[in-house]
Amino acid sequence: MRIEWTSYIQTNNELLDSQHKELFSRMNRYFECTECNSTHQELIDTLNYLVEYVKTHFKTEDDIMTEIEYTRQKEHRRSHRELTERLVEIYKELIDNGASDELHDKLARLCQVWYVAHINDFDKRLASYIKAYNRAHNNV
Ligand SMILES: [Fe+2]
């Protein structure tokens, strides 16, 4: 399976969009890995590569939210925490039990439903706020 980045989830914030594309690319790298007889360790490394980037990306957004004193930072942070916990749970399951169709579906669902939903809701709203903030502070 592949998860395509489309303009449907474009936030129109250059930094956020480029990081989201990298996120999707790392998700796809893992899915490619599951289809090509990768070893247990290779799968773990590839999923870890995604987990690390998710953390980096959420930190980027969190730093921006702090900087612009985003009014909805708390709930946005909560959503990040949830997404991270779910992903780490899958990562641990992979380490403990190895790859399975069930685990693959779980990750696919998380990537498709949760990350896309998060981007479409939370991140688009944040991007609009950043734009308005920059305009108000003449940073455009
Ligand atoms: Fe976000």
Write down the pLDDT at residue 113. 80
* pTM reported for the whole predicted model: 0.93
Task: Give the pLDDT band (50/70/90) at residue 49.
Answer: very high
Span 106-131, average pLDDT? 93
- Is 5 part of any domain? no
d(CA 73, ligand 1 centre) in Å: 10
CA–centroid distance, residue 40 to ligand 1 (Å): 30
- Centre of ligand 1 to C-alpha 15, Å, is 12
Does a structural domain hold residue 101? yes
SS3 assignment for 45-97: HHHHHHHHHHHHHHHHHHHHHHHCCCCCHHHHHHHHHHHHHHHHHHHHHHHHH
| Residue 44 maps to a domain | yes
30 and 36 Cβ atoms separated by less than 8 Å: no
pLDDT for the residue 45: 97
User: Considering its fold, how many domains does the chain have in total?
Assistant: 1
- Own/partner long-range contacts of 62-67 (Cβ < 8 Å, ≥24 apart): 64/126, 64/130, 65/126
**Ligand 1 ion local residues (Cβ < 5 A):** 61, 122-123
CA dihedral defined by 125, 131, 133, 136, rounded to 10 degrees? Answer: -140
Asked whether residue 4 is assigned to any structural domain, the reply reads no
- Interval 68-108: pLDDT, tens: 999 999 999 999 999 999 999 999 999 999 999 999 999 99
- What percent of the chain shows pLDDT beyond 70? 99
Q: How many angstroms separate the alpha carbon of residue 80 from the centre of ligand 1?
A: 6
Read off the CATH number of the domain in which 69 is found: 1.20.120.50
Which pLDDT score, from 0 to 100, does residue 22 have? 96
Residue span of the structural domain in which 18 resides: 10-136
Q: How far is the CA of 128 from the centre of ligand 1 (A)?
A: 13
